[in-house]
């Protein structure tokens, strides 16, 4: 989609949801009978009602050329929720992403990751030094962790083959995006699963 069309799409979404005061965690709607829209306020927990809403939207998702996932002001929570319920059910190809987290020196950090089976790697061994050039106060960081995320159209959860969604996917973000929500944004940007739309988030990732 061209930049002017993307801006038009973004404006249309804002106009349609600007007056919404819905406090529910998950909101779904069809905008102008042509755009599928999903708003996620938090990844802390999905209730059965939340997953039912998503599943209902996904039943007919291929009837719409554009699908917008709105995670603006989503403070994060559990990465497994977006993996299992947002990406995996409609993935139509193989998408891979490698994410890095930088860490400062500290016993609490070391104990936390050791208890979860992750090893902290020396920052001097970071595989792509160009990435670090944009990090503020990089000298404060001593370690990093590396995560690899991969989806295919063979379900990683149930082993079922599926066709997935073949339209355009857009992820709306802003400075209120943290934690696992930022993880979704990083995955989308790195893998190309969705076009990330919005300003720089709180984690400092530059978003187009």
Query: Does residue 84 sit within a domain?
Result: yes
Residues 3 and 40 both lie in one domain: yes
Write down the mean pLDDT value for the chain. Answer: 86
Residues 185 and 160 both lie in one domain: yes
Query: Does residue 203 sit within a domain?
Result: no
Q: Give the number of other CB atoms < 10 A from CB of residue 164.
A: 17
Look-up: residue for tokens 């997953």? 51
Query: Does residue 208 sit within a domain?
Result: no
Residues 82 and 132 both lie in one domain: no
Query: Does residue 43 sit within a domain?
Result: yes
| Res 163: pLDDT | 74
Residues 1 and 34 both lie in one domain: yes
E strands, 152-189, where?
168-173
Which strands, in side-by-side order, build the sheet including 168-173?
26-31, 35-40, 66-70, 168-173, 195-198
C-alpha span between 183 and 56 (Å, rounded): 25
Closest CA to 30 of 1, 57, 49: 57
Annotate 39-96 with DSSP letters as a single string: EE--BS---HHHHHHHHHHHHTGGG-SEEEEE-TT---B-HHHIIIIIIGGG--S-EE
Q: Which token pair is 85?
A: 């319920």
| Res 109: pLDDT | 85
| Res 207: pLDDT | 34
Using a pLDDT cut of 90, give the percent of the chain over it. Answer: 58
Residues 55 and 72 both lie in one domain: yes
Residues 103 and 11 both lie in one domain: no
Residues 48 and 73 both lie in one domain: yes
Please give the DSSP secondary-structure letter assigned to residue 11.
H
Report the pLDDT averaged over residues 110-114: 85
C-alpha span between 151 and 201 (Å, rounded): 24
Residues 34 and 135 both lie in one domain: no
Query: Does residue 160 sit within a domain?
Result: yes
Residues 130 and 161 both lie in one domain: no
Residues 34 and 108 both lie in one domain: no
Write out pLDDT tens, residues 132-191: 988 889 999 999 988 899 998 875 555 555 679 999 999 999 999 998 999 999 999 999
Write out pLDDT tens, residues 22-36: 679 999 999 999 999
Residues 44 and 80 both lie in one domain: yes
Query: Does residue 207 sit within a domain?
Result: no
Q: Give the number of other CB atoms < 10 A from CB of residue 25.
A: 18
Query: Does residue 65 sit within a domain?
Result: yes
Give the range of the structural domain holding residue 69, as residue numbers without chain letter: 1-93+153-198
| Res 116: pLDDT | 79
**CATH for 165:** 3.90.226.10
Residues in the chain: 208
Are the C-beta atoms of 58 and 91 separated by less than 8 Å? no
Residues 73 and 164 both lie in one domain: yes
């Amino acid at each position: 989609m061209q930049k002017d069309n993307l801006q038009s799409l973004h404006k249309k979404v804002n106009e349609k949801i600007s007056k919404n005061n819905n406090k529910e965690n998950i909101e779904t709607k069809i905008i102008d009978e042509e755009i599928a829209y999903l708003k996620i306020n938090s990844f802390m927990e999905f209730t059965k009602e939340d997953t039912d809403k998503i599943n209902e939207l996904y039943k007919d998702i291929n009837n719409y050329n554009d699908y917008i996932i709105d995670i603006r002001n989503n403070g994060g929570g559990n990465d497994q929720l977006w993996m299992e319920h947002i990406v995996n059910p409609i993935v139509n190809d193989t998408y891979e992403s490698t994410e890095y987290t930088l860490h400062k020196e500290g016993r609490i950090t070391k104990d936390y990751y050791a208890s979860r089976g992750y090893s902290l790697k020396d920052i001097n061994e970071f595989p792509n030094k160009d990435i670090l050039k944009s990090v503020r106060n990089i000298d404060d960081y001593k370690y990093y962790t590396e995560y690899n995320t991969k989806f295919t159209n063979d379900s990683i959860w149930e082993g079922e083959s599926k066709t997935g969604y073949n339209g355009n996917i857009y992820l709306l973000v802003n400075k209120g995006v943290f934690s696992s929500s930022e993880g979704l944004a990083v995955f989308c940007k790195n893998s190309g699963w969705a076009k990330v739309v919005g300003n720089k988030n709180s984690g400092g990732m530059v978003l187009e």
